[in-house]
Amino acid sequence: MLSLLDALAVAPQQWRHGYELMKETGLKSGTLYPLLMRMTEQGLVEAEWREPAQPGRPARHAYRLTSAGIAFARDALAGPQRGAAPLGVSLA
C-alpha cells in the first residue's frame, strides 16, 4: 500500500488510471485494484468513471486521494514511523 500511496501523493489532486498506477508501482492488477477499492471504502481515495480521450475506447475508472487520503499518506510515508497507520485503517 505504501508504494501506491507514494505514487498517488506525488500529485494528489490529479486523476490517475489503474494501468498507469500499475506501471509506476509495479503492483499487479490483483493487488492494485483490491487496494484501491479498500482505500475508496475507507475514504482515502475517490474514484470516478472517466470518458475516453479517444473515440472507440472504453470509459475507465480514475483515482485520486481525498483530503483524508492526503493526510493519511503524509503520516504513513513520514520518517521513522513510516507505515504507522491511524486507528481503524489497515495498511494490509
H-helix segments, the chain: 2-10, 18-25, 29-41, 67-76
DSSP designation for 46: E
- Structural element, H or E, at residue 49: strand 45-50
Is residue 77 pLDDT above 90, yes or no?
no
Mean pLDDT of the chain: 86
What is the model's pLDDT at position 36? 97
Domains and CATH numbers, the chain: 2-76 (1.10.10.10)
Tens digit of each residue's pLDDT (9 = 90 or more) over 31-52: 999 999 999 999 999 999 988 7
Longest dimension (CA), the chain: 48
Average confidence (pLDDT) over 12-17? 93
Above 90 in pLDDT, residue 71? yes
